[in-house]
Amino acid sequence: MQNQKISINKLLLVFFIILCPLFAVKSVCEEAKLPEEYQKKVLTYDFNNAEIIHDGIYGTIVLSKDRWKNWVARGITILSAYVIVLIIILSMPKKNEFELAICYWLSGVMFALSLWESLSGWLLFNINKPDYGYIFAFVSLLMYLFSYMILMKVKKSDVVNIEKKEANIEKEIENPILSSVDNAPGKFEKEDFIK
């Protein structure tokens, strides 16, 4: 008897959960009716600045003719991010391995930003704005060139650091005070406590 009572309560709870949102939506829709003066007006759309494409798969697509402005804005944003990364790399000290690893990673980011800039130019070609496309293609070539030059500068700093480490190791070997001591038994006969 108690199991049936629990199952009836669960059933009522399920009906409440299902039906409550339906009544709430119905009451909200009834309250949201527009006044008659707004219902009589017909909405019109201005398609003068739009391109209508009738696609067999996707149906009718309406594209703005001003969407090229978005790609120009994106290209300028990418260029400004590139300049920020360039300034960070040039201002960073390159004295230890951690700083060099960060510089190598940031130079990879610079190559990625250069690729995105060239893709922005390519998309501007595709939406029939070749003059902006040529500008962004030229800017992306400059970005690739600067990225390569920065990468070579970071690599040169890395080589200099390696040469300094090797020179310090050679100095330690040449100087008997700085050289490491072999602790094998019998090396120092007077201090050897094993004998």
In a domain, 18, yes or no: no
Q: What is the spatial distance between Cα 102 and Cα 100, in angstroms, rounded to a whole number?
A: 5
In a domain, 84, yes or no: yes
**For residue 75, what are the domain limits?**
67-174
In a domain, 62, yes or no: no
Strands 50-55 and 59-64: antiparallel
What are the tens digits of pLDDT across the range 29-50?
455 555 555 555 555 566 666 7
In a domain, 136, yes or no: yes
pLDDT classification of 144: cutoffs 50, 70, 90:
very high
CA–CA distances in Å: residue 171 to residues 48, 167, 179 = 78, 6, 9
Name the pTM for this structure. 0.58
In a domain, 153, yes or no: yes
In a domain, 93, yes or no: yes
In a domain, 128, yes or no: yes
Dihedral angle sign, alpha carbons of residues 36, 38, 44, 45: negative
pLDDT at 30: 52
Please name the amino acid found at residue 132: Y
pLDDT at 28: 45
Calculate mean pLDDT across residues 182-195. Answer: 58
In a domain, 167, yes or no: yes
Q: Annotate 52-76 with DSSP letters as a single string.
A: EEEETTTEEEEEETTTHHHHHHHHH
How many structural domains does the chain have? 1
